Amino acid sequence: MEFVFLLLVIFCLILLLWVLSEMAFHLFVPIERWPAAPFVPTAGRHYKTIIDALELSPGQTLIDLGCGHAGLLVAAAKRGISGLGYERSWGPFLLAKINVFVRRSPVKIIKGDLFAADLASADAVFCYLLPSVLADLEQKFSQELPSGSQVVTFAWPLPSREPTQVIEATRIGEKIYLYRY
Ligand SMILES: C[S@@+](CC[C@H](N)C(=O)[O-])C[C@H]1O[C@@H](n2cnc3c(N)ncnc32)[C@H](O)[C@@H]1O
């Protein structure tokens, strides 16, 4: 029993070190040298603003493309919204699984590339991704999103589409952008 506990502690320490090193990397390395979209979670204080702005009804589906630790989806699920997250990296994926398990949340997490996500069931899609990735996603949204669905992006807008609403999120000028398809 003690051995299992020790293994669990070692595993958690490795996970913590991995997450801290990821965060340190993105704090100190200039943005031009970042990979496509690093694990920098949306601050929890924005969850309510994002979920309120979407005005989803219980049972509707919110997809987070690159869901990180799935904090937004877990918060949305508390309001009856059905959550689905796609995450490519092992660290955030495992954190998401642990988060969902510990909170006994019905949120579903898929380990995979967000460009392979099936958007047919989406009532809303959330993205906190770099502008280059958003540019590639715009085409996927136009082709796959059901009519009437919404997209929310954090910090950076979709490059070509006009938002239906822009919300000031932080004092340093970060914004939440809402789109209707
Ligand atoms: C800025 S974080 C946002 C995390 C979460 N959506 C949030 O707002 O807290 C971006 C996440 O996207 C993931 N990601 C980047 N490229 C991806 C891809 N091609 N497929 C799936 N996930 C990806 C990263 O691993 C990272 O966890």
Q: Where are the alpha helices (DSSP H) in the chain?
A: 2-28, 47-54, 71-77, 90-102, 131-144
Q: Is the CB of 41 under 6 A from ligand 1?
A: yes
> Would you say residue 35 has pLDDT above 70?
no
3-state secondary structure of 33: helix
The answer to whether residues 13 and 96 belong to one domain is no
> What is the residue range of 75's domain?
40-180
DSSP 161: S
Q: What are phi and psi of 7, to 5 degrees?
A: -60, -40
Q: How far is the CA of 86 from the centre of ligand 1 (A)?
A: 8
pTM of the model: 0.84
Whether 26 and 105 share a structural domain: no
Backbone φ and ψ for 62, nearest 5 degrees, come out as: -110, 125
CA–centroid distance, 147 to ligand 1, in Å, is 25
pLDDT in tens, 150-162: 999 999 999 999 9
Check whether residue 19 and residue 46 sit in a common domain. Answer: no
Number of domains in the chain: 2
Under the banding of pLDDT at 50, 70 and 90, the label for residue 134 is: very high
